Amino acid sequence: MITGDAAYIKKINRSFIIKEIIKEGMISRADLSKVTALTRATISAQVADLLEEGLIIETMLEHNAVGRKPIMLSLNAQAGYALGIDLDYGKISFSLSDLLGQPVHSTFIEINTTEYPEILQILLKQIKKYKDKYTDSRYGIVGVGISIHGLVAKDEIVHFVPKLGWNEIDLKNDLEKEINIDVYIENNANLSSFAERVFFHHETDNLLCATLYSGIGLGMMMKDDFFRGHDGFAGEAGHMIVVPEGRACKCGNKGCWEKYASEYGIFEYLAETRQIKKLGYEHIQKWLDRGDEEVTELMEQFIYYLSVGLNNLINMYNPAVLVLDSELLRMYPDALEKIKGNLHSTISHYRELTISSIGKKSCVLGACALVIKHFLDVPMLNLSYENKKNPSL
């Protein structure tokens, strides 16, 4: 039983109600009372507040049954918008979603600088564009979530971004003082794991998501929250050693997992050996379709070393769900079954191993979802994912 002062209890009850409305999509007051175990009087008072605030809407269902037509409650998705940003080397992606996490606009900007002051101004200019365009909604832009491909401390200070050469950057403060919008800074792999939990894996509170693109990032959701470690830097699984005295890594060690099981290694090798400067997935797909023996062998090695690291992660964390985010795995026939076939240990336990169906958009969608979670002040979101193209800003 929840105890405390009246304001605190009201806040907790409000959170339960919003969470259930989002989860069910549409729900009546009577059913809300049943699933939350709150009295009808409490439900009526809270719903009245939410209607007045414009956060929920009422819909009267048409039906032929005898009796009163049920009035259903649902979230007002257009009451405000969340802006997600993926800040990566050479490119910044933007996605604006409604309060149900559905993208309504997206765009990207290619950048040829790593200088913080220049990138800060690019971010400010684009955020202000979105802010000005969506002033007509009740709450406008309710927050900005930013995905960082590097180390983010618990206080949201950007500790280190390898490709940009940034150290100890207070991006959150620098943006908030200019735009007057709440900003949330998070590691890209964490946001990918959050997107997987929010949009797909609603029935688990223990999920790992490994992103395998330019390196290996590991996002960890434990009990519906990020597992961050002591300073917030947990998840650097790409730098666990899988080959003692193996290939040199920029981190200073040799034989790191990401040197053998990230897509970057395959792209780097093939670009050099086949003299293709802008090697893309389409090249690899073409070679695989032709049965290219060298490319096939590279993929088999990729899967082997990936399995070695996954075995370690499974034994360390015992996740319910483990999601792999890799375009190469999506392209390669039977990749998932081959990985599962390499996980022989009788002590390795997990419920589900899957390849992400969101892909590279997961971190920016996770950023939007994180903003929505904070704005609505709910413990967790259960949203649906619609893979559709969106117009540019």
**pLDDT tens figures, 210-253:** 999 988 999 999 888 898 887 777 878 889 999 999 999 888 89
What tokens were used for 280?
């893309």
What tokens were used for 201?
């894996």
**Cα separation of 369 and 351, whole Å?**
25
6-75 CATH: 1.10.10.10
Flag whether pLDDT at 343 surpasses 50. yes
Helix segments in 221-262, DSSP class H: 258-261
The model's pTM: 0.91
Query: pLDDT of 322-339, one tens digit each?
Result: 999 999 999 999 999 999
The band of 346, judged by pLDDT with boundaries at 50, 70 and 90, is confident
Task: Tell me how crowded residue 343 is: count the other CB atoms within 10 A of its CB.
Answer: 15
Q: For residue 64, what pLDDT is reported?
A: 53
Flag whether pLDDT at 66 surpasses 70. no
Flag whether pLDDT at 173 surpasses 60. yes
Over the chain, what is the mean pLDDT? 91
Flag whether pLDDT at 393 surpasses 60. no
Domain with residues 79-193+361-376, CATH architecture: 2-Layer Sandwich (3.30)
204-356 CATH: 3.30.420.40
Q: For residue 1, what pLDDT is reported?
A: 42
Flag whether pLDDT at 2 surpasses 60. no
**Cα separation of 273 and 279, whole Å?**
11
Buried b (16+ CB within 10 A) or exposed e, 193-210: bbbbbbbbbeebebbbbb
* DSSP sequence for 260-289: HHSHHHHHHHHHHHTT-TT--HHHHHHHHH
The band of 67, judged by pLDDT with boundaries at 50, 70 and 90, is low
Q: Which residues contact 1 (CB under 8 A, 6 or more apart)?
A: none
Asked if domains 6-75 and 79-193+361-376 share a fold, the reply is no
Sign of the four-CA dihedral 230, 235, 238, 242: positive
Q: For residue 70, what pLDDT is reported?
A: 79
Q: For residue 80, what pLDDT is reported?
A: 97
* DSSP sequence for 295-319: HHHHHHHHHHHHHHHHHHHHHHH--
- Extents of the domains making up the chain: 6-75, 79-193+361-376, 204-356
Higher pLDDT, 321 or 163: 321
